[in-house]
Copies of this chain bind each other. A is one copy, B any other.
Amino acid sequence: MRFLHTADWHIGKKLHGYDLLEDQSYIIDQIIDLAEEQSVDAIIIAGDLYDRTVPAVDAVKCLNEKIAKINLEKKFPLLAISGNHDSPTRLETGSPWFKNTQFYLTTSIEESIEPIEFSDTQFFLLPYFEPIEARLFFDEKITTIAEGVTRVLQEMKQYFDSTKKQVLVTHFFVAGSSQTDSETKIQVGGLDSVPTTAFEGFDYVALGHLHANTALNHERIRYSGSPLKFSLSEITNEKGVYIVDTQKDQQHFYPLRPKRDLQQYTASFETLLDPAFYRQVDREAFLHFTLTDRAVIPNMMNQLRRVYPRILSVERQNGRTVSKKNLTLADEEDPQRVIAHFYKEMTGEPLNEQQQKWLTGLTAGGEKEREKSCSQEN
């Protein structure tokens, strides 16, 4: 059995306000092409098909088209689960009919326990769930994700056929993994991470949730990573999919080539606008610039955008925000930045003008309060 393992498509996600739908459509087509070239027996999507529980209508159209292409047009068996970004109920629409053509989409603990068998392999499809769901399902005092997952896997093991391989498809934070900035944190203080020891007995664990394929260093337990870079912290990440051969016990990572890459440059404003420089650069890419200038540059963004249409952010090398850390962590001294950063991290979009105004109004009020209390103290 040879299958392709991908995850975290996040269809409908925006990158600093830029629509990624075209990039997502392009990269999924590339995944399908690879599956054909490599003649895999099935495709696995380990959760977070959508970026939001209520995806925009264009995102729905895109996923509908891609799953129909994979399963109905190209005739690949398809195994998928819901992730923490998907609405189980919305995503499962149509799923009772999908089984007819070997498309198995699992969105609840209940459906996950019995395996789906293909030739030499038993697939167990365990979607993301909250501890309360496991508690209700088993009617036992389950309080953490680790306890919930362990309990579900215990049930699954009753169905293990020793003449076959066992593959688990799931979507959680596994202890010891490293994170990027584009993942929604689902564990607090390490309580809701799943230890790798929970997965003993499985020949391969196809994970979703973390966006770097290198997030966990384990031979049989792997994140495929997202097919696209979703944050500046993933800029050096190689994006791709795994193709797993259960017979030969091999896993190979196949890199993908995005329609538009995410890149960063450090240069002076003058250099950036110099044809000798920008001719060497992929101007269509999503770009982050670090300016070496110290002087104020009037109308800077507008000038840069005429050359580079997809600028994610521009920072000053010599300003307060020069360090790598500050590319992603807000300066905690400035409440406006902290809030704006938090908003962007949660929604993927910057504050709009109206929100910025409210925020300025609010924090200006706070400043006054602070000044008042300071003067009283003095």
Answer yes or no: A100 CB below 8 A from chain B CBs. Answer: yes
Answer yes or no: A358 CB below 8 A from chain B CBs. Answer: no
Contact of A94 among B54, B61, B89, B98 (CB under 8 A): B98
Is B96 within 8 A of A72, CB to CB? yes
Q: Of all chain B residues, which has the CB nearest A100? A: B100
Q: Of all chain B residues, which has the CB nearest A63? A: B93
Q: Of all chain B residues, which has the CB nearest A88? A: B57
Answer yes or no: A375 CB below 8 A from chain B CBs. Answer: no
Residues of B within 8 A of A61 (CB): 89
Answer yes or no: A318 CB below 8 A from chain B CBs. Answer: no
Q: What are the interface flags for A81-104 relative to B under an 8 Å C-beta threshold, 1 for contact and 0 otherwise?
A: 000000101101111111011010
Bound complex: CA of A260 vs CA of B61, how far in Å? 38
Number of A interface residues, CB 8 Å? 21
Query: What distance in Å separates the Cβ of A277 from its nearest Cβ neighbour in chain B?
Result: 43
Answer yes or no: A64 CB below 8 A from chain B CBs. Answer: yes
Answer yes or no: A346 CB below 8 A from chain B CBs. Answer: no
Copies of this chain: 2
Contact of A89 among B64, B96, B98 (CB under 8 A): B64
Bound complex: CA of A64 vs CA of B93, how far in Å? 6
Residues of B within 8 A of A57 (CB): 53, 87, 89-90
Q: What are the interface flags for A50-62 relative to B under an 8 Å C-beta threshold, 1 for contact and 0 otherwise?
A: 0001100100110
Contact of A101 among B53, B72, B97 (CB under 8 A): B97
Q: Of all chain B residues, which has the CB nearest A73? A: B96
Query: What distance in Å separates the Cβ of A211 from its nearest Cβ neighbour in chain B?
Result: 26
Answer yes or no: A301 CB below 8 A from chain B CBs. Answer: no
Query: What distance in Å separates the Cβ of A289 from its nearest Cβ neighbour in chain B?
Result: 37
Q: What are the interface flags for A234-264 relative to B under an 8 Å C-beta threshold, 1 for contact and 0 otherwise?
A: 0000000000000000000000000000000
Residues of B within 8 A of A53 (CB): 57
Answer yes or no: A362 CB below 8 A from chain B CBs. Answer: no
Is B96 within 8 A of A95, CB to CB? no
Residues of B within 8 A of A64 (CB): 89, 92-93
Q: Of all chain B residues, which has the CB nearest A98? A: B97
Q: Of all chain B residues, which has the CB nearest A101? A: B97
Answer yes or no: A68 CB below 8 A from chain B CBs. Answer: yes
If A100-B100, A100-B101, A101-B100 touch, does A93 touch B60 (CB 8 Å cutoff)?
A: yes
Is A89 within 8 A of B103, CB to CB? no
Residues of B within 8 A of A54 (CB): 54
Query: What distance in Å separates the Cβ of A257 from its nearest Cβ neighbour in chain B?
Result: 29
Bound complex: CA of A54 vs CA of B55, how far in Å? 10
Bound complex: CA of A101 vs CA of B96, how far in Å? 11
Pairs across A and B, CB under 8 Å, 26 listed: A53-B57, A54-B54, A57-B87, A57-B89, A57-B90, A60-B89, A60-B90, A60-B93, A61-B89, A64-B89, A64-B92, A64-B93, A72-B96, A72-B97, A93-B93, A93-B94, A94-B94, A94-B95, A94-B97, A94-B98, A97-B97, A97-B98, A97-B101, A97-B103, A100-B100, A100-B101
